[in-house]
A and B are shown apart, each in its own frame.
Chain A
């Protein structure tokens, strides 16, 4: 039976409606999956890591649903394994060359640098073509020279302007990448504005100023207290204060890092997603609240530090839940009539090359 013969699904679903994103992954369940796959990868000298990647993505994609439809990760482990074997061979060839024939090694390095933009494209293409929603795949196309421009030349411009142009560069680059992604053959539109990127940076600077003021007040109160107590000259008290100052300083630094990245990432993600749409198919919405986002990032970082990285799967589930709760979609009738335009495989070599460079748009 061909899809065209399929009677149109229930009529209620072909209207415009709003849908939330649901993430149903469980911490314990995913931790087991992640650990078993990690350990299997280790004892197979990394060969299983291709399967591990697929299993992890199948879990995370499959547990993400919109309107009861689960995302799918469709890559075949063998494709990934072939890519990784090529990567290992290139690595071995390069290290052999650098100990026996430095000239050859230099030529190889130049060739790899020249290939780099192509590898970025292949990596993104692979990730997106292996991602599907409702049986329809995503895809990505980009030109080599555009990638050279966005990834190598524009950052140079950013440096020349002492970083002043950097937010603009980031906006241009992300817009280019997202607008070259397609779903069901239709390109995404992301009419972002550089002003939002500058706003995010200014908010970060504002936060820095506020933090500095807070530190000043704390330090001032501290020293006033010790003066009032009257033994500021006591070397023991001074030592204690220096120690307390160090601890507070480290804590503030830690707090500041996650607060600033939460502000920047949160503002940019909200802006990007609120712009992201395909006319007649969907509009995305994102409403990340900065403070809870900062708390999430900080607690995740603490979890990773305290467990030496073993809590990684728990942090992934916590983050996915948070992001899913902050995301929703306006779905338009077009979403029910999309046709998959992406065949199972593209250029055989491109799929393998994707293994050399794991690229992701990080759409979630």
Chain B
């Protein structure tokens, strides 16, 4: 290797503001720093005894010597190829619009992968690992909140309650579900016929759904099985960990971008949640279908229950497929009811053959 041309710059002392114009000569990876006014040598650094500063667009790459002193070249494009220094990957990316474009395309693809695959899988795994105490705590807390805010003690008579409790017990024993994991609660709710499951296995039945299905108790069984399905699949815990993971992801991804972060967080989380809850409803439906067969009945009970509910909420509505808009509030977050009914009936028919 031959001697390279002289490089002009500034020699900056370590730990003091002293500096002077200097010239650097490189030879076989060794560096010689001289005063620019030919007053002699400042220092000699053998190969390996110095480091390169970070390469930043538009700025020179400094040489950093063992004692902390630095040589800062005047030429801001200098990247020290003559010393075998390779330009950094990051700086290359930062200098090219093509990198900006590629990354711009990569971001939505990456987010799609996270929202549809990674986060659901990850939070399902986490939900499985959470100790039982978490579900208990969450369940009793939600029940307390529900009681304080929008539900009242049941007005059903003891006989009405007992009739349902007996069928409930019967369901649990026939299905070999440990009864101590579950608890049936009755509440009066102005919102109308409904049932809901809490993470600790508490299933709430509203007075109006009990009365609505009093004459068709097998329909209420189907609804209860759907709710048990939610508990067995740990859906509440999954929703909790998915929501936490989603908001954490958006905060981490866009936390630094002011304004934009909040908008994306809101839109992304609600979009993802709508899709989670659709999947969970159909999981709970499948559970109900399967267990109805176990106890010797067919998914037709579930279809009938859905029809009864639909009739109640929207007596005039034609349950035409795809008519999601005309459907009732109660099922707003559920898959189109017509589809669920169709699925149940198709399975019931299959069984008859």
Contacts and interface: CB of A to CB of B under 8 A. Distances in A.
Nearest to B57: A29
Interface SS, B side: mixed
A103 interface: no
A134 B12 contact: yes
Contacts of A33: 56-57, 94
Interface in A60-101: 62-63, 68-70, 88, 91-92, 95, 99-100
A168 B13 CA distance: 42
Contacts of B90: 51, 55
Contact of A9 (B20, B107, B244): B20
Interface-centre pick from A32, A134, A135 (highest chain B CB count, 10 A):
A135
A76 to B, nearest CB: 11
Nearest to B21: A10
B6 interface: no
B293 interface: no
Nearest to B36: A10
B54 interface: yes
Interface string A324-345: 0000000000011111100000
B340 interface: no
Interface in B31-66: 35, 37, 39, 42-43, 54, 56-59
Interface stretch (B163-171, B215-223, B254-262, B277-285): B254-262
A1 B260 contact: no
Interface-centre pick from B56, B67, B254 (highest chain A CB count, 10 A):
B56
Interface stretch (B96-104, B227-235, B294-302, B314-322): B96-104
Interface residues of B, number: 57
Contacts of A99: 138, 141, 240
Contacts of A3: 13-16, 18, 69
B70 interface: yes
A42 B254 contact: yes
B15 A26 contact: no
Contacts, number: 157
B305 interface: no
B260 A36 contact: no
A42 B107 contact: yes
B338 to A, nearest CB: 36
Interface in A25-50: 25-26, 29-30, 32-33, 35-43, 45-47, 49
A305 to B, nearest CB: 10
A309 interface: yes
B257 A9 contact: no
B44 to A, nearest CB: 9
B257 A38 contact: yes
A335 B18 CA distance: 9
Interface stretch (B185-193, B245-253, B324-332, B341-349): B245-253
A114 B21 CA distance: 50
Given A26-B58, A41-B253, A338 B69 contact: no
Contact of B137 (A30, A49, A100): A100
A8 interface: yes
Nearest to B59: A62
Contacts of A184: 17
A38 B104 CA distance: 10
Contact of A32 (B11, B67, B94): B94
The 4 A-B residue pairs with the shortest CB-CB distance in the complex, in nearest-first order = A46-B252, A39-B103, A3-B13, A338-B17
Given A35-B104, A37-B94, A134-B12, 7 more contacts: A42-B110, A59-B59, A68-B10, A99-B138, A135-B15, A136-B16, A337-B18
26 contacts: A1-B67, A2-B67, A3-B18, A9-B21, A10-B20, A26-B58, A32-B95, A36-B100, A39-B100, A40-B103, A49-B256, A51-B90, A70-B59, A91-B248, A91-B251, A92-B248, A99-B141, A100-B138, A134-B12, A134-B19, A135-B12, A135-B69, A136-B17, A184-B17, A309-B259, A336-B18
Interface of A: 1-3, 6-10, 24-26, 29-30, 32-33, 35-43, 45-47, 49, 51-52, 55, 58-59, 62-63, 68-70, 88, 91-92, 95, 99-100, 133-136, 184, 308-309, 335-340
